[in-house]
Chains A and B, each alone.
Chain A
Amino acid sequence: MTTLAIYGDSWADCSHGHWQHPELDQQGWPNLLADRGWDVDNYARTGSSLHYSYQRFLATHADHNRVIFLITTPGRWTRSIEIQGKVYTVNSYDSADWLLKNDIYRKQLTSDQRTLVSKVMDFYLYVQDMEFERTAHDLMVAEITRIRPDAIVIPISFGCSPGTDMIEYQKLFVRSVWPDRPDLMGVQAHRTWQEVGLVCHMTPEINRVVCESMRAALALGKWEPIIPNRVDHEHPADYYVKLFDA
Chain B
Amino acid sequence: MTTLAIYGDSFCDWATSYRPGMTELQASAWSQKICDHYTVTNYSISGSSLYWSMRHFEQTWSQADRIVFVVTSVGRWPGHWQDPKTGRIHTLSSATQCQIALDNKDWVEHIDDYAAKRSVAEAIRDWYLWAKVDQFEQTIQALMIKRIQALRPDALIIPINRWGNPPSIQALVCATDYILAGFRSWPETADRARNLDDFVALSQNYPEKRTICHMTPEVNESFLTAVLQSLEEGVWAPQVPTKIDHPMPIDYYYYRS
Taking beta carbons and an 8 Å cutoff, which residues of A are in contact with B?
49, 51, 54-55, 77-79, 115-116, 119-120, 122-123, 125-127, 129, 131-132, 135-136, 139-140, 143
Q: Which of B120, B135, B136 contacts A127 (CB 8 A)?
A: B120
Once the chains are docked, how many angstroms separate the CA of A123 from the CA of B78? Answer: 13
Q: Which residues of A contact B123 (CB under 8 A)?
A: 119, 122-123, 125-127
> A132–B126 contact, CB under 8 A?
no
> B130–A119 contact, CB under 8 A?
yes
Which of chain B's residues 35-66 have a Cβ closer than 8 Å to chain A? 51, 54
Type the 1/0 row for B107-121, where 1 means its CB is closer than 8 Å to any CB of A: 000000000000110
> A55–B139 contact, CB under 8 A?
yes
> A51–B143 contact, CB under 8 A?
no
**Chain A residue nearest to B129 in the complex (CB):** A119
Q: Which of A79, A125, A131, A136 contacts B140 (CB 8 A)?
A: A136
Once the chains are docked, how many angstroms separate the CA of A235 from the CA of B48? Answer: 57
Once the chains are docked, how many angstroms separate the CA of A131 from the CA of B77? Answer: 12
**Which 7 pairs from chain A and chain B are nearest by CB?**
A126-B123, A132-B78, A122-B123, A139-B143, A119-B130, A78-B136, A129-B79
Number of contacts between A and B (CB, 8 Å)? 70
Q: Which residues of B contact A54 (CB under 8 A)?
A: 139
Once the chains are docked, how many angstroms separate the CA of A126 from the CA of B127? Answer: 10
14 contacts between A and B (CB under 8 A): A51-B133, A51-B135, A51-B139, A55-B135, A79-B133, A120-B130, A122-B123, A122-B131, A123-B123, A127-B77, A127-B124, A129-B51, A135-B54, A139-B144
Q: Which of A49, A55, A120, A132 contacts B131 (CB 8 A)?
A: A120
> B119–A78 contact, CB under 8 A?
no
Once the chains are docked, how many angstroms separate the CA of A126 from the CA of B136? Answer: 19
Given contacts A55-B135, A123-B131, 17 further A-B contacts (CB under 8 A): A49-B136, A51-B135, A51-B136, A54-B139, A119-B123, A120-B130, A126-B120, A127-B79, A127-B127, A131-B78, A132-B78, A132-B79, A139-B144, A139-B146, A140-B139, A143-B143, A143-B146
Once the chains are docked, how many angstroms separate the CA of A119 from the CA of B140? Answer: 22
How extensive is the interface on chain B, given as a class? 20 to 34
> Shortest beta-carbon distance, B147 to chain A, in Å?
6
A55-B139, A119-B127 are known contacts. Are A78 and B78 too (CB-CB below 8 A)?
no
Q: Which residues of A contact B143 (CB under 8 A)?
A: 136, 139-140, 143
Q: Which of A55, A119, A125, A129 contacts B78 (CB 8 A)?
A: A129
Once the chains are docked, how many angstroms separate the CA of A9 from the CA of B130? Answer: 24
Q: Is the interface of B mostly helix, strand, loop or mixed?
A: helix
> Shortest beta-carbon distance, B54 to chain A, in Å?
8
> B135–A78 contact, CB under 8 A?
yes
Q: Which residues of B contact A126 (CB under 8 A)?
A: 119-120, 123-124
Once the chains are docked, how many angstroms separate the CA of A93 from the CA of B213? Answer: 39
> B140–A122 contact, CB under 8 A?
no
Q: Which of A55, A129, A139 contacts B147 (CB 8 A)?
A: A139
Once the chains are docked, how many angstroms separate the CA of A115 from the CA of B127? Answer: 11
> Shortest beta-carbon distance, B24 to chain A, in Å?
36
> Shortest beta-carbon distance, B131 to chain A, in Å?
5
Q: Which residues of B contact A127 (CB under 8 A)?
A: 77, 79, 120, 123-124, 127, 131
> Shortest beta-carbon distance, A148 to chain B, in Å?
16
**Chain B residue nearest to A146 in the complex (CB):** B146
Q: Which residues of B contact A78 (CB under 8 A)?
A: 133, 135-136
**Chain B residue nearest to A125 in the complex (CB):** B123
Q: Which residues of B contact A51 (CB under 8 A)?
A: 133, 135-136, 139
**Chain B residue nearest to A135 in the complex (CB):** B51
**Chain A residue nearest to B52 in the complex (CB):** A132
**Chain A residue nearest to B117 in the complex (CB):** A126
> Shortest beta-carbon distance, A179 to chain B, in Å?
43
Type the 1/0 row for B132-166, where 1 means its CB is closer than 8 Å to any CB of A: 01011001100110110000000000000000000
**Chain B residue nearest to A49 in the complex (CB):** B136
Q: Which residues of A contact B127 (CB under 8 A)?
A: 119, 122-123, 127
> Shortest beta-carbon distance, A162 to chain B, in Å?
18
> Shortest beta-carbon distance, B230 to chain A, in Å?
27
